[in-house]
Structure 1
Amino acid sequence: MVTGPRYGLDTQVVGVLALIGAASMFCAPAAGRWVDRNGADRVNLWCILATFAAAAVLAGGASGSWTGLAALVAGLLLLDIAVRCSQVANQARIFALRPQARSRLNTAYMTCSFLGGSAGCWLGIRAYAQLGWLGVCTLMGALALLALAAYLAGPRRQQARTPALPGSTQPDPLAR
């Protein structure tokens, strides 16, 4: 969309826009602390809500103006932070399943993560081809609502039983 007639940006500017995602890596340590304090379930809820908000903000990018470009930047940053923080929360959750099998659990988790990302790209391309940018944003919002429904329907775990990740500021409550 940004290289098309609406914005007319070149590939170098698109590359700079892609670097926005790099800023989210600085959120990983904070996300770990949030998981330690609030539990993975609560952090995931925040991430689902942030993803829904990102869909709404990104929809503003359809305007083609400088405010639309600002909406794209803000929405991309919000989405990348939500994805990064949910990844940290989900890894904390799976590592609690069998701490002695972290490598295998992480391999399975990342495989599923990449498969899900591939499916999301496939759906996003189809949505863009059929419905344009607002279709992509609507799809993202609908998927966030689906995730929220699954979250609300799912069981709540005892937050105090989630062991802290290595290097975390919280002691492992299961180590007693």
Structure 2
Amino acid sequence: MPHNPEQQASFVEQVEQVEQIGQIHLEPMKLVGLSVTVAFENVDMGRIDAVRQQFFIRRNEIQGILHPDRYWSPWFSAEGVFTYFFCMEVADLLEIPEGMIGFTIPAHTYAKLHYDGPRPMNPDPYAVIGEYQREQGLAALKRALPLEAYSFAEWQQEGRIVFDVYVPLRTG
């Protein structure tokens, strides 16, 4: 435990930011939205933010939205590139707007963490989930997509970010 009062306050804040961690099973989800791929070298956050803004503007084109108050951001990375999606959960994949992608996330059990803290994130929610997995003897399901869920109303405030992180777990 830190002895410096400033460090201790920071530690307490970090615990409060990630206090909601556990496991949850999610049924299959049909998602429709936009994606952006960037290189890890010189990550272009402006490009990611531009696609997010385009998604915010175009989300009303998506038919059959199940939860209009939140969006999902699955992602994956491979050797030097990172792909991030901005999606709405829908009832079916019959109509996909021009330039968007529609796909199904299979049912999985996830380690879930609620993060409400500073941006840039401290502590890193993925590092916290990694520690939780180690403590619980759990392993990530390697080829499945991690998910992030955001409320349109509160996803980002001045200097803060609020979202849920879901990391798929190997079961059985």
TM-score (norm 2): 0.29
Q: Which has the higher strand share?
A: 2
Higher alpha-carbon Rg: 1
Q: Normalized per residue, which structure has more helix?
A: 1
TM-score with structure 1 length normalisation?
0.28
